[in-house]
Structure 1
Amino acid sequence: MAETVVSFVVERLGFLLTNEAKFLYGVCDQVKQVQAEVKWMHDFLKDADTRQIEGERVGNRVWEVREIAYDTEDAVETFIFEVASRRGCGIRIILKRFTCLLNEARLRRKVGLEIQAIQTRISNLTRSLQTYGIKHLNEGEGSSSATERRRLLRRSYSHVVEEDFVGLLNDVGILVAELVTKNTHCPLVSICGMGGLGKTTVAKKVYHHRDVRRHFDGFAWVCVSQQWKAQDILQGILKKLIPEIKNKEIMEMRDDELFKKVYEVQKEKKCLVVLDDIWSKDAWNALKDAFPNEKIGSKLLLTTRIKDVALHVDPNGFLHQLRYLNEEESWELLQKKALRRRDDTDSSVGIEMEKLGRKMAGQCGGLPLAVVVLGGVLATKHTLDEWETVNRNVNLYFRKGKGHDQEYSGVSDILALSYHDLPYQFKSCFLYLEIEEKETRTDVAERCLHELAHRCMIQVQVNESTGRIKSCRLHDLMRDFCLSKAKEENFLKVIDFRHGSEPVESTSSSTTRRIALYLHTNVDTFVLPPQETTQHLRSALFFNPYVDGLFISSFVEIDEFMPKMKSFFEDFKLLRVLDFGKGIKGRFPKAIGKLRHLRYLSLNGSHLTGSESVIGKLKYLETLDLRVPSYFPISMPNRLWKMERLRHLYLPFFTHSRRIRWDGLRNLEILVNLWPDNFEDLLKLTKLRKLKASCIEFNALGTIINYLSDPATCLRHSSFTLKAERFCSEEDLTLLCRLLECHHLYKLSLRGPIGKLPDDTHFSPSLTYIELGGSRLKKDPMVTLGKVPNLRRLELESDSFAGEEMVCSTMSFPQLRSLVLRCLENLEEWRVDEGAMPNLSSLRIQYCEKLKMVPDGLRFVTSLQEFKILQTAKRI
């Protein structure tokens, strides 16, 4: 994590030197020098950041490196802030201007002394790091006995097969069938999943399965892990595939001979080679020349936490992702582990112990490793009191691995392997996920989430229409690890006012740079941490505990907090991120207008009045989210057009003044909730990549169509909602056809009567999401919509189809993932032919009261995972 911080600071200092040079006059050389020294120190951290586990002393040195990096950035940015705020104070009055110059001189001297002190700290730390044997990047990679111990701990052996196997037999069957079926489509079979999910356990069951043993002539199992040598791996494979060769002969082979021999034996006979726990593409690149890529009968089975590794080995290979255990399976496995060592006379548990056991099994989140560790603890506990003691300390056992079976090093250690293997730029992204599930806002953020998902560290939900990440979550145990790591790294301080006047988290004297505040309706509980620990705050996130998803049960009034929060905003001059969260209500603090460094401001879901006069002063803002509830309309900031650095703008769902000047907003990349009052100025936004717009009249439709049709725009994703009383005239229908043909449009929502749908040739291939409401179509819309080539989500809402029968014919809807039929009052018959909707995963039928039966043809849709029916005919 220290490497993450230092890398970011190096980049940030470079940005400031380039873009804020006018404010750094007199100290530029010092800033450049300290930037170079921080960058040089970063190379030490490539070794040190992975060696904190070896001892507290090394960990403390790494912590100091992180603090130095932060302090360097703070000193430079504070200087810039002070100079910028003082300049211009006396342009018209010479005396005031002279005073400003004197103040700048004092500031330069102050920051110069601060940078000099930082350079001294860097020199002392560098010597200290070398004392502990931490090496510069050019001196080679660090190694240690602790690393070797962890490598041996993670090593797997094919002959050690798990006795207590629960819930994964179906996975074994799928994998065995893929390996032994003749004329199978690929030579690679991969098992993917997060640490502790049972990849190696399943692989061993497959490896020893009787059908697999009958099918193949040769078998080899090798554990790759994070520390590997290609020569050792190939020697191990060869010893297993050709046991008659003497070890000495294999050991004396040159590398090229090893590769050739392993390759040839797999072509001569059917072999199954298992590469267990492979972490990197580099490992495969070093081994791939030893494996044939033709369909010759030999197969490769690999296990990995990282999906991209399996796809890199063979993009067309068979990839199997393991699921989590359900509650019943978790309890079954826990019983096997916890009661295995008891006498037959003492092998049962009472009703109360079973309730407690089931509760603890549920806390394992379906992760087999967690159940096994917990079972090892309970195996030595025989009374209800002892089980209750374990229940109170479940998380402690998971973290420290205090199990009866000493081969398990603890759940947290296993999960930590994934964290330590992350590239530095993804570690901060991961630690941010302990707070809440946040939307992605840039391509960089989305790449980070994809990387974490491919490493099985987070679980993502993908938007069916765009294929992009819609939301993400952490497995319960991964979140516990995330919380623990964030606290260890001093990444974030959580203050929860729901639990009394004192913050829940430790109030240590170390500097806090990110804070999350869970508010409470009782103002007496509002106690901020000491100002000296938060003066360098960069992020402040507010949460209303009475928000559940989209539902807000109670708004938290912050007006009563303002006297205590006044200094909160006045003192935190370096604040970059401010998110008021959903369900916050009150007056918008005027002091926010002085936060020069603020880059991100969100009022999404809140109701803060008086914000329009303050927000306009934040000319360095890059993201502004004004999606307040529609029942709390707000006025737009009167100086919005002057915020030239704005990149992402989320407009209110409803506002008193819709007309906006776009003169200075030429850097906008994302624009959400645009209304027709502003369509004419769209051509000024040349960098716009994402647009979400609405229209309630045909007069403005031509303008938006021209923009969406322009091939010169940078648009990647656009969503459009058209609400009209009728689509009657030929001119209306012509405009509708032109709208459907827009190649930048991916989502279209039409609200209002349509005589008939345009021919399918008018539907753009980019359209992936269509929503119809009140269309009153008399002709079956499935005939036309089924031919839209890339349609992934379709919603037929109230009164969209007035007919009685719909048919989804063979080969229709080839890409459809989600289908919603809601309030189709006349629909009685729905037929689905074999071969229709081959990729459908979600189907919802709601309030179609005359629909007689579910289509028999749905039995052919093997991809269906979610099927919900609400208030339809009684016979369904």
Structure 2
Amino acid sequence: MQLNQQLYQIQSAKRCRIVLDDIWETCHWDGLKHAFLARTSQSKILITTCKQAIVELGIYYVSRMEVELLKEDDAWDLLKKKTFPPDINPEFVREESTCTLGKQMVKKCGYLPLAISLLGGVLNERNSTREWELVNENMDAYLYNVGDGDGDGDGNESKLEAVVNLSYDDLPYHLKLCFLYLGVLRDGESMAAVDLYRIWISQGMISEENSDKSPMELAEDYLRQLVSKSIVQAKRKDARHRTKYTSCNLHCVVRKLCLSMGKKEHYQVQTLEYTGGRFSSFVDHALSRVKTRHLVIHFKAELQEDDGEWRVNIELPSTVDFRRFKSLRSLAFEGFKFVRGKLPRGGYSSCSPQKSAFPEMERIGDYRLKLDKGIDQLEALLVQGLNSSVHENSCYKRMKKLRRFSAYIFDKESYTAIMKAIDSNWERLVYTFIVVEEGWEFTSTNLNQAFTCRNLTDLVIHAHLGRLLTECRSNIICSNIAILCFNKGKIEEDPMEVFELNDLQELREWKVDEGAMPLLSHLYIRRCLGMEMVPQGLSAISNLQDLIIEGMPELGRRVMSDNGGREGEDFHKVRHVSKITIK
């Protein structure tokens, strides 16, 4: 009601352009229409929808523009694109009979891109004309079940529903469970891929039998399979990571199927909005109405300014006690600030330490927490990680299954204990991120301990370094550390002789300050495709002897012309380098 009133007042005072995107239900319009009925308004309203009934909503003037469906040949090309990898066109698909069959199926999809994409996901593991014929026959049965038996009617919504059902039924059982969990997402909501992986693992949905992959790698593979079938949408990290995803979501049509199938298969998920009142009664009422497998509760959030930044602040009722949920296997808090840095009662201990039941902890931030119960099963301690100034942990030796770890270290005792555990106790580690904070005496012994630690991958040092890098020069060269960052370290001497920039796709500009890297002799720049020019500061590094630029044709031409002459506009910056290689 308040939103309607605000929208009405704004339109009465101003001329607006309003976009209502992807409206599927008339009830959605019913809840908002009073905000757009000001007769004096000169606003323009753009509505996108797949339903004819939405177009005739009672707005005073409607100009309708229908988006055409795909042409038959375009629909057939889309089906092939969604069925096979790029540049792959199997021989049986080039046969006339298969082409005719494919065009029959895209017609049954109503020439709708979503339906064709889902059909491509069904066909992508079928490699013969006979198998395609069986899918075509199955489509007739699904169309009949949704009331479009002839397959030639105008009921595109029925056609879409039939293909969505076919796509779900074609999933193997383990992927069905993972897909049904996504019903917790609200319409249009996305979930971070890494969060989804951890939930799948904690719920026992990831099977490690007969696999040498880690649970996280298997979970990522499960999502890749769901994306390849077009039943889940996902965003990739970048062009180089074809199977690395940042987030995922469901199309609104697929989400409806997900919820209905969950209800049918007794895999109920609930997503609730808590706006106030007695929280325990709210939860009890929700769980009493229907048997619930997964429960997501969204709390009322308010934007608050914190040190010049706007943050979402969510208040959790102080009466919450998670210890009474005896079957709780995983519990996640997001966006909360807890009073006096204390987690709610049972917020950690309520999760029983079954196999993979509580494999990861993250975002524990500065909340005082004693890591004890379930620590034997912990596989990852990430994001804000362990903070040695507030987190008690005397059980490093018990964390044998740890694979991914991050920590912020404020004292010598914690630093020594953690480095020893990384090097000796945690043999399954694949990723380790350590931040050494300032405020304590950081010695060459401490620095050498990091550089000789075989399992340390990422190291950030804020502590004062002085001449320590020079003193530890030999161990730096032999170190296994992949990423090394010095911030506020007050380095007095820079011993770096070799420097590499590899695969930094987003890098546009690299600045080299005067006096930086005075001992640098070898510089390798590889596949940083966004890099626009060679840094001017390289001209001051007189010790530079070898420069390699690889997989970057544009930058290479800025140094040398294509015919091998030294004519590039950036050549003067590296004129003093004795050996320049462009690959």
Normalised to the residue count of structure 1, the TM-score between the two structures is 0.37
Give the match for residue 336 of structure 2: 606
Is the contact made by 2:401 and 2:428 (CA closer than 8 Å) also made in structure 1? Answer: yes
Partner Cα distance (1:285, 1:810) in 2:
54
Partner Cα distance (1:468, 1:723) in 2:
35
Partner Cα distance (2:246, 2:326) in 1:
31
Give the match for residue 587 of structure 1: 318
- Specify every segment of 5 or more residues in structure 1 that has no aligned partner in the other structure, as ranges: 1-158, 172-189, 208-215, 228-275, 288-398, 493-509, 556-582, 624-643, 820-826, 841-853, 861-876
Larger C-alpha radius of gyration, 1 or 2? Answer: 1
SS of residue in 1 equivalent to 2:247: strand
Paired residue type of 1:670: A
Give the match for residue 229 of structure 2: 455
2:244 maps to 1:479: no
Partner Cα distance (2:125, 2:151) in 1:
35
Matches within 5 A, 1:378-389: none
SS of residue in 1 equivalent to 2:376: coil
- Specify every segment of 5 or more residues in structure 2 that has no aligned partner in the other structure, as ranges: 1-70, 103-118, 131-147, 202-214, 562-583
Matches within 5 A, 1:391-790: 410-414=159-163, 416-434=165-183, 435=185, 436-438=190-192, 439=195, 440-441=197-198, 442=201, 443=215, 444-456=218-230, 457-462=232-237, 469=244, 471-474=246-249, 478-491=250-263, 513-520=268-275, 534=289, 536-544=291-299, 546=301, 554-555=312-313, 583-590=314-321, 592-609=322-339, 611-615=343-347, 618=350, 620=352, 646-650=358-362, 652-655=364-367, 657=368, 660=370, 662=372, 665-672=375-382, 673-676=385-388, 678=392, 681-710=395-424, 713-724=427-438, 729-739=443-453, 742=454, 744-754=455-465, 755=467, 756=469, 758=473, 761-764=477-480, 767=482, 769-776=483-490, 784-786=498-500
Q: 1:611 to 1:679 in 2, by over 3 A?
A: closer
How much does 1:454 deviate?
Answer: 3.1
SS of residue in 2 equivalent to 1:749: strand
Q: How far does the alpha carbon of each residue in 1:122-163 deviate from its partner, in whole angstroms, 9 at most, with x for none?
A: xxxxxxxxxxxxxxxxxxxxxxxxxxxxxxxxxxxxx9644x
Q: How far does the alpha carbon of each residue in 1:825-846 deviate from its partner, in whole angstroms, 9 at most, with x for none?
A: xx96468999636489xxxxxx
SS of residue in 2 equivalent to 1:433: helix
SS of residue in 2 equivalent to 1:710: helix
How much does 1:602 deviate?
Answer: 1.9
Partner Cα distance (2:325, 2:375) in 1:
20
Is the contact made by 2:179 and 2:258 (CA closer than 8 Å) also made in structure 1? Answer: no
Paired residue type of 2:461: L
Give the match for residue 549 of structure 2: 836
How much does 1:731 deviate?
Answer: 2.3
Matches within 5 A, 1:67-82: none
Matches within 5 A, 1:11-90: none
Q: 1:277 to 1:585 in 2, by over 3 A?
A: closer
Paired residue type of 2:435: T
Paired residue type of 2:268: R
Paired residue type of 2:359: R
Partner Cα distance (1:685, 1:812) in 2:
39
SS of residue in 2 equivalent to 1:517: strand
Paired residue type of 2:352: Y
Paired residue type of 1:668: L
Instruction: State the superposition RMSD in angstroms.
Output: 6.1
SS of residue in 2 equivalent to 1:786: strand
SS of residue in 1 equivalent to 2:459: strand
Q: 1:733 to 1:286 in 2, by over 3 A?
A: farther
Partner Cα distance (1:418, 1:409) in 2:
14
Is the contact made by 2:318 and 2:344 (CA closer than 8 Å) also made in structure 1? Answer: no
Partner Cα distance (2:513, 2:459) in 1:
17
SS of residue in 1 equivalent to 2:334: coil
Q: How far does the alpha carbon of each residue in 1:419-458 deviate from its partner, in whole angstroms, 9 at most, with x for none?
A: 3322122123224335041412132533321222333432
Normalised to the residue count of structure 2, the TM-score between the two structures is 0.52
Paired residue type of 1:603: F
How much does 1:786 deviate?
Answer: 0.7
How much does 1:605 deviate?
Answer: 2.2
Matches within 5 A, 1:73-152: none
Partner Cα distance (2:529, 2:82) in 1:
24
Paired residue type of 2:317: G
Partner Cα distance (1:401, 1:802) in 2:
76
Q: How far does the alpha carbon of each residue in 1:368-411 deviate from its partner, in whole angstroms, 9 at most, with x for none?
A: xxxxxxxxxxxxxxxxxxxxxxxxxxxxxxx9999998899755
How much does 1:654 deviate?
Answer: 0.7
Partner Cα distance (2:422, 2:179) in 1:
36
Partner Cα distance (2:337, 2:401) in 1:
31
Give the match for residue 567 of structure 1: none
Q: 1:614 to 1:521 in 2, by over 3 A?
A: closer
Is the contact made by 1:662 and 1:681 (CA closer than 8 Å) also made in structure 2? Answer: yes
Is the contact made by 1:675 and 1:693 (CA closer than 8 Å) also made in structure 2? Answer: yes
Partner Cα distance (2:347, 2:81) in 1:
47
Partner Cα distance (1:620, 1:279) in 2:
39
Q: 1:805 to 1:703 in 2, by over 3 A?
A: closer
SS of residue in 1 equivalent to 2:452: helix
Q: How far does the alpha carbon of each residue in 1:58-103 deviate from its partner, in whole angstroms, 9 at most, with x for none?
A: xxxxxxxxxxxxxxxxxxxxxxxxxxxxxxxxxxxxxxxxxxxxxx
Q: 1:429 to 1:532 in 2, by over 3 A?
A: closer
Is the contact made by 1:776 and 1:799 (CA closer than 8 Å) also made in structure 2? Answer: no
Partner Cα distance (2:415, 2:296) in 1:
39
Is the contact made by 2:380 and 2:404 (CA closer than 8 Å) also made in structure 1? Answer: yes
Q: How far does the alpha carbon of each residue in 1:5-63 deviate from its partner, in whole angstroms, 9 at most, with x for none?
A: xxxxxxxxxxxxxxxxxxxxxxxxxxxxxxxxxxxxxxxxxxxxxxxxxxxxxxxxxxx
Is the contact made by 1:777 and 1:800 (CA closer than 8 Å) also made in structure 2? Answer: no
Q: 1:703 to 1:426 in 2, by over 3 A?
A: same
Is the contact made by 1:778 and 1:803 (CA closer than 8 Å) also made in structure 2? Answer: no
Is the contact made by 2:404 and 2:429 (CA closer than 8 Å) also made in structure 1? Answer: yes
Paired residue type of 1:618: S
Identity of aligned residues (%): 12
Partner Cα distance (2:312, 2:441) in 1:
42
